[in-house]
Structure 1
């Protein structure tokens, strides 16, 4: 169930972290993070791309309320969302890369398809 993982953080810290990760993913196209974080980011990134496909003033304001950079929202509505116009979900891919050296956390790369 998306949005139910606490990730060992207080609510405000967790929400800020996910907003930053989603913004960075939309800005760069791919990021490297842990698997549990990537699963949470996937749900929110898919939600933002779905908002971008609607392309109304209301959806643009909803995206601006979540994504932390205005130029990323512009890129979302002008470049990213039109690529997925004929696709119903599944905009991201998670590729596992193995354990992290320091604490053996399962790492992965999440990218836009």
Structure 2
């Protein structure tokens, strides 16, 4: 459950706000686009997105959950039979808010909220996958490329080619006395 918004409610009380949003959602699904104030459009968007998600599920429980908000059975039928199949390929962002000029009478900021019914272009999906793949590849290669390479001068170290004469010979039998033990 989302946290309630701070500040004054639309219409005064919480029950009135629910009714206003339910009526706005009903009109949005009936007409596919409505003109309202920016505040109402911003408050309607999460509700409309949730209802479309329920409609995409398409089962009886989802239909009953939508019917608790949208009381018109005809609009619910349109939502489940026409709008939800059009949104099947879309993973979210079912609505679009476009700001328009202020209202003439009281200068209230107005906006158009509409359903995004255009199909998702496959090119955009491929581009998103490609950018994710390149970002993932860049993360794998980044630590190797970003490692600082120091060009420090190499110091000459003495090279030991010949074995030391005092070192014990490994080919000698283990039972044979050593030179130091004879004395």
TM-score, normalised on structure 1? Answer: 0.94
* RMSD, aligned α-carbons: 1.5
Which is greater in Rg? 2
Are 2:25 and 1:22 aligned?
yes
The match for 1:4 is 5
Runs (5+) with no aligned partner, structure 2: 117-183
The match for 1:41 is 44
Choose the corresponding residue for 2:77, options 71, 74, 78: 74
Q: What CA distance in whole angstroms lies between the structure 2 residues aligned with 1:2 and 1:106?
A: 25
Q: What CA distance in whole angstroms lies between the structure 2 residues aligned with 1:41 and 1:3?
A: 14
Larger RCO: Structure 1 or Structure 2 (Cα < 8 Å, ≥ 6 residues apart)?
Answer: 1
Q: What CA distance in whole angstroms lies between the structure 2 residues aligned with 1:33 and 1:55?
A: 29
Choose the corresponding residue for 2:110, options 92, 107, 111: 107
The alignment covers a number of residue pairs equal to: 113
Distance apart, 1:86 and its partner CA: 1.2
Choose the corresponding residue for 2:16, options 10, 13, 18: 13
Runs (5+) with no aligned partner, structure 1: none
Q: What CA distance in whole angstroms lies between the structure 2 residues aligned with 1:29 and 1:60?
A: 19
Relative to its length, the structure with more strand (as a share) is 1
The match for 1:97 is 100
Q: What CA distance in whole angstroms lies between the structure 2 residues aligned with 1:17 and 1:34?
A: 12
Distance apart, 1:72 and its partner CA: 0.5
Q: What CA distance in whole angstroms lies between the structure 2 residues aligned with 1:86 and 1:48?
A: 16
The worse-fitting range, judged by mean Cα deviation, of 4-13 and 43-52 is: 4-13
Shift >6 Å, 4+ stretches:
none
SS of the residue corresponding to residue 35 of structure 2 reads: strand
Does the 8 Å CA contact 1:2/1:43 hold for their aligned counterparts?
A: no
Relative to its length, the structure with more helix (as a share) is 1
- Residue 2 and residue 104 in structure 1: after superposition, are their counterparts in 2 closer, same or farther (change >3 A)? farther
